[in-house]
């Protein structure tokens, strides 16, 4: 029997390196996250990973959830 983690894990190899984007505001800093649009994958959504550990865990958000998160963070940072 597979665990929930097995069903929701998104292997880093499923996303091409060219799909990952880092915020321009990071200015070369290493303490960043990168995002990738996974609309073309069966799981669809926005993937997020730690730029210091690109082969580490990946979080996958639904588009609506990620947009709400970004809007919330943007409101805090202004």
Distance CA 63, CA 24 (A): 21
Bridge partners (DSSP) of residue 48 are 35, 59
Do 45 and 8 meet the contact criterion of CB atoms below 8 Å apart? no
pLDDT band at 2 (very low <50, low <70, confident <90, very high): very low
Q: Return the domain boundaries, the chain.
A: 12-21+31-77
Q: Is 19 helix (H, G, I), strand (E, B) or coil?
A: helix
pLDDT band at 9 (very low <50, low <70, confident <90, very high): low
pTM: 0.70
pLDDT, tens only, 21-57? 987 766 666 678 899 988 777 778 899 988 888 888 8
- Work out the percent of the chain whose per-residue pLDDT is above 70: 73
């Amino acid at each position: 029997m597979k665990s929930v983690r097995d069903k929701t894990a998104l292997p880093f190899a499923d996303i091409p390196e060219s799909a990952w984007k880092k915020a321009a505001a990071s200015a070369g800093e290493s303490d960043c996250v990168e995002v990738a649009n996974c609309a073309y994958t069966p799981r669809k959504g926005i993937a997020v990973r730690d730029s210091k550990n690109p082969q580490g865990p990946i979080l996958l958000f639904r588009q609506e959830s990620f947009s709400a998160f970004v809007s919330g963070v943007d409101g805090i940072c202004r």
